[in-house]
Structure 1
Amino acid sequence: MASSLCCSNPPNLSPASGEGTVVDDFGGIKAYIAGSINSKRAVILISDVYGFEAPNLRKIADKIAASGYFVVVPDFIHGDPFKLDDSTRPFPVWLQSHTTEKGFEEAKPVIAALKEKGVSSVGAAGYCWGAKVVTELAKAAEIQAAVLLHPSLVSVDDIKEVKCPIAILGAETDHLSPPELVKQYEAVLAEKSEVDYFVKIFPGVAHGWAVRYKADDESAVKSADEARTDMLEWFNKHLI
């Protein structure tokens, strides 16, 4: 997977962004949290390779929280986001230190911490790298609903093992999850009568559009807002 395809348009990270709070330990992980801790429904947002300090990601968390959810954005990459301009550590090397398998394992205590606080249903949404972590959670029946946004590293065989309702939001221009692959995901899900699914390919956008959009690009913001709305509707449907 080429970093130029996965990691273009890096965000300007801001540790102070968002209307929520950064806590040092939520299920053993530093995290950004938003919304009422008394909510019985929670959403975990799992970042792309740029991590949980991305302002757009936190805006999304805040807006989901405003709909009645308790939202957690864990720092699964431990303060070490990928740096596109760091020639000493190309993407494959960075990925060796930040495997999706590790993210999956670290997500389990986060889910346990939510349940300890009285949460009855947990959804998870992931962007690019994070989408693979969410897929693993869906395969393990750790969550009640999943959303993948411009996923990477997710195979057709992964989708065959998904055990909870899943929405997949793809981009028209995406060399990591091209429409042809997304349609293969959809064909697999169509054969799984026990799993509710929603698949959508957004026209005129490229990989990363749902979280790495530019705030001054009206068209990009509109597409990202549409993706967030689709995500929220999916969680509203499946998180009781």
Structure 2
Amino acid sequence: MAAAVTAPPYAAAGAPRRRLLAARPLGRGAALALAPAARTSSSSVTRHRRGSWEDVARRCGGRTEVASVDDDEACELVSGADLVIGGDGDDGGGEGDGVRAYLLKAVKNNNGTGVLLLSDVFGFEDSATRDFAYRVACHGYNVLVPDLFRGSPWKKAEKDGFDAWLAGHAPERVSGDIDGCTSWLVDEFTAAGVSRKLGIIGFCYGGGRLVETLARDGGAGAGAYSAGVCFYGSRMDASLAPRLAAPVLFVCGDGDPLCGVETVRALEARARGARAAVYAGRGHGFAHRPQSLEDDGDAEDAFALMRGWLHDHLLA
């Protein structure tokens, strides 16, 4: 049985949140033609469906197209491409090189809106992260997932050596890479007149970086981003709340030792337009790495909340 959630005020009282948000119409537009600002190559994508993985990748014309397996989903195809943003395109991984990233685009129901997705410590090639990005793209968005760790994500199940690994990823370098990806999205979508709004999503480590990114994003009305969704962000600085340049939906579980509910509530109280959804009994990673049927149910609910939040702030 799905755990109770503190419903954000934009959900109608008494109505099932998942049904309410799923019924909201999503924006439609012509398929987006991105300028070839970086080199591309084909790559496969996997699809998570109720706890199992299904490979639905299909090679087509030098790129990967992914057929939707959900009859009730809005899109039928999603295209994926590997990119190198900035630098000289060398994949050596040095600090002077460009940032590797993965871009997923909705093909038939593209709404023209760009979304930056910041991964957890397992990196941008992790299957759970790619799957979540695919699902977001299925609803019309163009999702950019950068390699925050320059080819060296965390790969262990245990925490032994984690602090030393994290220390090897300087915050200044990571924030610079994120800002470079933001500039790329602005150039490709906003400045090009494709979309007036951009969104940002972050998980765990990426959630903490989302807070920092929005805090330096130029202030209310002047930033690149118009909405954010933070899933159980780690190492979040609640003192940055008044500086967040866009409204953020914070999603977490009350059993998560890496994302304290007190911090989330402080951010919600002090950040302009912020809302929090706290799931009873859920731990870290439940929304994109569900480990049980209960996790899976709340993961679907959290996805619906996110979808409604993005629609209201980016498309409405």
TM-score by length of 2: 0.63
Identical positions, percent: 26
For structure 1, list consecutive stretches of 5 or more residues without a partner in the other structure: 1-14, 190-194
Residue 165 of structure 1 and its aligned partner are, at CA, apart by 0.9
Aligned to 2:178: 107
1:134-162 deviation line (CA, Å, top 9, x unaligned): 11221122422111111111122022321
Superposition RMSD on alpha carbons, in Å? 2.2
Which structure shows the higher helix fraction?
1
Aligned to 1:133: 209
Partner AA of 2:134 in structure 1:
D
1:21 aligns with 2:103: no
Equivalent pairs counted in the alignment come to 218
Residue 133 of structure 1 and its aligned partner are, at CA, apart by 1.4
1:70 aligns with 2:152: no
Does the CA contact (< 8 Å) of 1:104 and 1:134 recur in 2?
no
Once residues 133 and 78 of structure 1 are traced to their aligned partners in structure 2, the CA distance between those partners, rounded to angstroms, is 16
Once residues 188 and 264 of structure 2 are traced to their aligned partners in structure 1, the CA distance between those partners, rounded to angstroms, is 36
Partner AA of 2:302 in structure 1:
A
1:196 aligns with 2:273: yes
Does the CA contact (< 8 Å) of 2:236 and 2:263 recur in 1?
no
1:3-38 deviation line (CA, Å, top 9, x unaligned): xxxxxxxxxxxx743344241413532122111487
Please say which structure displays the higher CA radius of gyration: 2
1:220 aligns with 2:295: yes
For structure 2, list consecutive stretches of 5 or more residues without a partner in the other structure: 1-42, 47-65, 67-78, 87-97, 191-195, 218-223
Counterparts in 2 of 1:1-240, with a 5 A limit? 16-18=44-46, 19=66, 20-27=79-86, 28-36=98-106, 39-84=111-156, 90-119=161-190, 120-141=196-217, 142-189=224-271, 195-214=272-291, 217-240=292-315
Residue 180 of structure 1 and its aligned partner are, at CA, apart by 2.4
Corresponding residue SS for 1:239: helix
1:72-100 deviation line (CA, Å, top 9, x unaligned): 1111112211132588x711111112244
Corresponding residue SS for 1:25: strand
Corresponding residue SS for 2:230: strand
Partner AA of 2:176 in structure 1:
E
Q: Which moved more, 1:37-46 or 1:122-131?
A: 37-46
Does the CA contact (< 8 Å) of 1:100 and 1:133 recur in 2?
no
Partner AA of 2:129 in structure 1:
L
Q: Which moved more, 1:89-98 or 1:21-30?
A: 21-30
Partner AA of 1:155 in structure 2:
D
Once residues 85 and 305 of structure 2 are traced to their aligned partners in structure 1, the CA distance between those partners, rounded to angstroms, is 27
Q: Which moved more, 1:35-44 or 1:66-75?
A: 35-44
